[in-house]
Chains A and B, each alone.
Chain A
């Protein structure tokens, strides 16, 4: 087949030129060499496009200089781990260790991921398997928050959590707002839910939970009902069916939903950046943002690049390992929300 076969049948010059044959098996003929080379050129250009920013940041991260090179460098001239070492030793100007930042990020994303699937799974089961009054209304109720982007809830959550405080009134007395307050309104605030990782976690769960319910319900709907019917005939009640049949079958999807939550909240920035003020509560995403903030000209670029690599690593690893499941899970959530 040459590129000129039936040119009048194709409207697209690109398709006509390559005579693209998506079946790939017509006649079992081999690709002519010139076309093979042409495709190779194109795919190499695309590969360059993809690798360009990646190689740029990799090169920066392995540099021992804090300034950026004045000409384009995409291949590391030196492999120096100074930047990584510095970032791990002292990630910010504040007295916070890297481990603390890592623990905050990890705690938040794992906590939110776990909490949302644990709470969501029973509701997903109920929506998927039971028929009850108000079912449609309750489902719409769960669906409504999905329409709202997570940040849309930031204002009320900020204000509501800001009013939850523990105040030390002195003389060994404690007051818990909004239920009790210190007499003169004075006192030292020792805990403010808004300014804590716990509060940020709640704020994240607020949007993660409806997504988890929908995602899990969508999966449970695909589990054939014959299994349960057989179990029912054997005398199993709904609780037994849930624990003995549904849960084991849903385990893979629970894991996927958990990892989706983990990935999403590992890089969550908006809520922590709004809520948290204490440097020891900062997450890795916030640190990365801080590194590129206002004072961009004074950034130690190699350290910024090293930090970017560190933040990207866990997400990239999980994504590559669970690529297929995550893509279909995302689509389910994306289309419905």
Chain B
């Protein structure tokens, strides 16, 4: 994607009728507004990150007598885990955050593509009805989805435990299933991701986010499938390729230009999935499902350590920049397919 580095899509021979001042007049409103509410706060944030700003400085802000510039101390505390915050380990949260985003995309994309492909087979009955049903998770706001799933994973009356009870009683068990989905701390599979234990809440969220995530990928894949020319398949079948060979040699390569940006979009979305995580577990139990973004919110909203929160936001920005540089390279590398 021509994000930053491609300002050269101009025609060389365009008539030069613009006065040099005009473009800046057009830019003025946006830059005025952004200057006040985006750029100034961004700079303020950096300055803030070098201070020990806390609740007691709220009234006088930078005029407070005991507001100190403490250099890189906030950053140091975040990295080495000496913050006055329970259960916080920066590298554990960072690892978990990447793991969370990657595992989500890794299940959403293949599932979405496979389902799109199955629904694209000619002659399947009720295609339209299925497509209409499958779109539903995309259109429901994540905050609603998260609250509903939180309810589903409730220990006592949650429908997930009820469903499991129904299944186990079918196999002869009489005990009701009482899994503590969102509060159990012991990780069920302890060797998976050793430095960031994955609690049952992680699996519950994977299930809920799977429900939320694959239909979008399916939607994108369906659009891409329908734009693949039929002649390609005819040519392939004349050459004697079976349906499976056609899938791997025609469908998959032609889906790639659509699916790579979709996967990256999914990755970025999952990486910063604030609303969903906050509504479902608030990062719990014991911060085991905390993402960078939910922790930074906790720092401002509940712990009210403004200086530390600013430093943390700067770190998030650096992480986001690294992620962007990587994904930008991936998109550009795959662009040649399009």
Set B15, B38, B133, B232: member contacting A145, Cβ < 8 A: B38
Given contacts A270-B274, A316-B140, A337 and B61 within 8 Å (CB-CB): no
Given contacts A23-B233, A149-B320, A154-B297, A267 and B121 within 8 Å (CB-CB): no
Set A50, A72, A122: member contacting B133, Cβ < 8 A: A50
Number of A-B contacts (CB under 8 A): 362
Pair B34/A210 contact, Cβ less than 8 Å:
yes
Interface stretch of the complex, out of B17-25, B75-83, B84-92: B17-25
Given contacts A72-B159, A145-B34, A156-B48, A292 and B150 within 8 Å (CB-CB): yes
Query: In the complex, how many angstroms separate the beta carbon of A54 from the nearest chain B beta carbon?
Result: 6
Pair A319/B244 contact, Cβ less than 8 Å:
no
Query: In the complex, how many angstroms separate the beta carbon of B269 from the nearest chain A beta carbon?
Result: 7
Pair B41/A160 contact, Cβ less than 8 Å:
yes
Interface stretch of the complex, out of A6-14, A77-85, A91-99, A250-258: A6-14
Tell me which residues across on chain A come within 8 A of B244, comparing CB atoms: 6, 9-10, 12, 15-16, 19-20
Q: With an 8 A cutoff between CB atoms, is A191 at the interface?
A: no
CA distance A335 to B228 in the complex (A): 22
Query: In the complex, how many angstroms separate the beta carbon of B279 from the nearest chain A beta carbon?
Result: 6
Given contacts A22-B225, A135-B7, A155-B48, A47 and B261 within 8 Å (CB-CB): no
Interface residues of B (CB under 8 A from A): 1, 3-4, 7, 9-11, 14-15, 17-18, 20, 22-24, 26-31, 33-34, 37-42, 44-45, 48, 53, 58, 61, 114-115, 117-126, 130, 133-145, 147-152, 154, 157, 159, 162-163, 166, 211, 215-216, 219-220, 223, 225, 228, 230, 232-234, 237, 241-248, 250-251, 261-262, 264-265, 268-269, 272, 274-275, 278-279, 293, 296-297, 299-301, 306, 309-310, 313, 316-317, 320-321, 324, 327, 331
Additional pairs, 15, CB under 8 Å, beyond known A147-B321, A156-B45: A23-B233, A25-B234, A50-B134, A51-B136, A57-B151, A68-B151, A119-B29, A132-B23, A132-B24, A143-B4, A151-B296, A154-B300, A238-B18, A269-B278, A308-B147
22 contacts between A and B (CB under 8 A): A9-B244, A21-B247, A22-B225, A22-B228, A36-B123, A43-B118, A127-B27, A130-B26, A138-B27, A143-B3, A143-B4, A147-B321, A148-B316, A154-B296, A155-B309, A155-B310, A206-B41, A237-B17, A311-B141, A311-B143, A323-B139, A337-B268
